[in-house]
Structure 1
Amino acid sequence: MSDSAALVSFLEKWHARWPEWSVAEIFVAPARRDIAVAWFALLQEFDDVLNISGDPLPADAKLAWWSEELRGWSAQRSRHPLGRRLEPVRAPWASLADALPVLVAARDTPSGSDEAFAALAPFGAAVAAVEADVLGRAPDADAVVAQVLATRVADMGIAAVPTAFRQADDAASLRGWATEVLQRWPASRPAARERRVLATYARGRLDRLSRKGAPAPLPSRPVLLFTGWRAARGD
């Protein structure tokens, strides 16, 4: 597979996970769409490493590979197709590499909300620092962590719920934890437009989980369009 075909494959994988983006990307400048999706696709790779079940060794090996790869980006040397798009950006890639081991420890079930956020805090700060260069504005690091936790509970279900939020009924446990993450998700939006749009859709998914205790279908296209428009405006 050529580098260009491999890059398209990674971007398409991200689009498949976030079909909402196909509605909202009209609010993003065409010249910025490729790099935004490449960046979010990279972060999805890290979500996948965090949100595993079963034998962790393959994911740990993948994480070690990514650590080495990101350090290469700092020296303008890339091997991964996403690097063809992201590596030219002068960003603290090595600092992000330094934060990746946090994801291994964060797989452990936290006792409560403070522990869940604290476990991912170094990763959130590193992502925010790189995003300042990739998208031109740093998001709130706590908001990055909240979005990672939202993806984690969507992917892992009850396994992602801290012990303090677990009840006899799994759906009630999921509702309680989803509500807690929403409440701790910073409401201010200092981030780049692309992050605001994606974060709004991630919050929407988590909000539906907090009400139903299970993943729910996406809203209608008009609702997604209006939501994306408001996020793009910064409302």
Structure 2
Amino acid sequence: MSVSVFVVDDEELIRAGFRALVNAVPGLTVVGEAANGAQAVQSVRTLRPDVVLLDVRMPVMDGLEATRRIMATGSATPTRVLMVTTFDHDEYVFEALRAGASGFVLKDTPPERLIEAIRVVAAGEALLTPTITRRLITEFVSRTAPAHRPVPAALATLTEREREVLVHVAAGRSNAELAESLHISRATAKTHVSNLLSKLGARDRIQLVVLAYESGIVSPAGGSGDTRTG
């Protein structure tokens, strides 16, 4: 699969490093770069890359606002945003996931993991593998009172099995791990996840995780929470 990548970071050396790394991999090509979010939004609208490697903290426009604007453009072949940050506890990252980013990695991520992350996101999947993602969401949600978390009415339409699957998805489990845990086939696990995405109007698994925590279906402590829908 050929994947076009756009690199955004306010440090020129970091952009150069990412560019060299990505261009050295067959099938991956850097089609452009920017030093801040404002430049990125304008260029991405024109170039429509498959994946944007986007720094969180930048001058002029940060990665959060850039993500919102990039995802708001709308396209039959949407650009996926992969956040890259120095901090493993940055609230901006959580907000970026809510804005539509498909995941994030740390800047000191090994090269092979970064390339894998780009491919995962380009394939339309959400990057949930790093445990830091789940910890970040847990920490953020734990500061928000349950009464103030939105509870989508669509949750009432979920079957007991779909709620169970949602809990497993919120724990960061893949379809293969879901199948093993619930003693079902991978195809069935994939079908349940697809049904959740459709019923809850979620873009990807990342949004399912955020929704599970915000609605209280999964508690910040890591277990199942209050599953009431009304």
Please report the TM-score for the alignment, with normalisation by the length of structure 1.
0.30
Structure ranking higher in helix proportion: 1
Structure ranking higher in strand proportion: 2
Q: Which has the higher contact order (CA 8 A, sep 6+)?
A: 1
